[in-house]
Structure 1
Amino acid sequence: MALQIKVFDQNLRSTWNEFVANHPFGSPLQYWEWGEVKRSAVWRPIRLGIFDNHQLVGAAQILRRQLPMGFSLFYCPRGPVISWNDDKSIEILSTLLKSVKQDYASWRTLFFRLEPPIINNQPRTGIDAVQDKQSTINNQQLFPYFKSIQPSHTAIVDLTAAKEEILYRMDKDTRYGIRRGAREGVRVVKDGGGSLGLWKQFYKMYKETAQGAFVHRPWRQFEKIFRLMAPRGQAELFLSFLPPRPSGQKSHLPFVITGNLPEGARLIAGAVILKTKLRGYYLWGASKITPEIKSLFGAYILQWEIMQSLKEEGVKSYDLWGVAPNDNPKHSWSGHTLFKKGFGGKRINYLGCLDLPLSPLYRLYHAADYARQKLLKPDLIE
Structure 2
Amino acid sequence: MDYFLQGPAWAGFQRALGRTVHEQAGPGWSFLAVEESNPAGKLLYAPYGPVAGTLPAFDAALAALTELARRCGAVFVRIEPVAAGFGAADADAVLRSRGLRPAPANQQPELSWIVDLDRDFKDVLAGMKPVNRNLYRNIHKKGVTFRSSQDPAEVAVLLEFLHLTAARNGFKPQSDEYLRQVARSLMPAGAATLFIAELEGTPIAAALAYDSADTRTYAHAALDDTHRKLSAGIPLLVTLMADAKEKGLQHVDLWGVAPADQPDHKWAGFTAFKKSFGGRGIAYPGTWDLPVRKLRYGGYQLARKGAQAAAKLFKALRSRLPR
* TM-score with structure 1 setting the length: 0.73
Runs of 5+ unmatched residues, structure 2: 313-323
Question: Which range is displaced more, 104-113 or 211-220?
Answer: 104-113
Matching of residues 1-382 of structure 1 within 5 Å: 24=1, 26-39=2-15, 43-50=19-26, 52=27, 57-67=28-38, 71-83=41-53, 89-105=54-70, 109-118=74-83, 126-127=85-86, 131-132=89-90, 135-192=93-150, 195-211=151-167, 212-243=169-200, 265-290=201-226, 293-326=227-260, 328-359=262-293, 360-369=295-304
- Corresponding residue of 1:248: none
Relative to its length, the structure with more helix (as a share) is 2
In the TM superposition, what is the alpha-carbon distance from 1:172 to its structure 2 partner? 2.4
Runs of 5+ unmatched residues, structure 1: 1-23, 84-88, 120-125, 244-264, 377-382
CA contact (8 A) 1:181 1:300 kept: no
Instruction: Give the letter aligned to residue 272 of structure 1.
Output: L
Instruction: Give the letter aligned to residue 91 of structure 1.
Output: P
Instruction: Give the letter aligned to residue 153 of structure 2.
Output: G
CA contact (8 A) 1:280 1:315 kept: yes
Question: Which range is displaced more, 212-221 or 317-326?
Answer: 212-221
In the TM superposition, what is the alpha-carbon distance from 1:296 to its structure 2 partner? 1.2
How many angstroms apart in 1 are the aligned matches of 2:36 and 2:152?
29
Instruction: Give the letter aligned to residue 127 of structure 1.
Output: F
In the TM superposition, what is the alpha-carbon distance from 1:314 to its structure 2 partner? 0.3
How many angstroms apart in 2 are the aligned matches of 1:197 and 1:112?
36
Instruction: Give the letter aligned to residue 214 of structure 1.
Output: F
In the TM superposition, what is the alpha-carbon distance from 1:372 to its structure 2 partner? 6.7
Question: After TM superposition, where is structure 1 displaced by more than 4 Å over at least 4 residues in a row?
Answer: 367-376
In the TM superposition, what is the alpha-carbon distance from 1:352 to its structure 2 partner? 1.0
* TM-score with structure 2 setting the length: 0.85
Identity among equivalent pairs (%): 27
How many angstroms apart in 2 are the aligned matches of 1:373 and 1:42?
32
Aligned length: 309
- Corresponding residue of 1:260: none
Instruction: Give the letter aligned to residue 110 of structure 1.
Output: V
- Corresponding residue of 2:319: none
After superposition, the Cα gap between the structure-2 partners of 1:221 and 1:166, relative to the gap in structure 1 and judged at 3 Å, is same
How many angstroms apart in 2 are the aligned matches of 1:371 and 1:106?
30
Question: Which range is displaced more, 345-354 or 321-330?
Answer: 321-330
How many angstroms apart in 1 are the aligned matches of 2:20 and 2:34?
6
In the TM superposition, what is the alpha-carbon distance from 1:102 to its structure 2 partner? 3.1
In the TM superposition, what is the alpha-carbon distance from 1:327 to its structure 2 partner? 5.9
In the TM superposition, what is the alpha-carbon distance from 1:81 to its structure 2 partner? 2.2
CA contact (8 A) 2:215 2:251 kept: yes
How many angstroms apart in 1 are the aligned matches of 2:8 and 2:68?
21
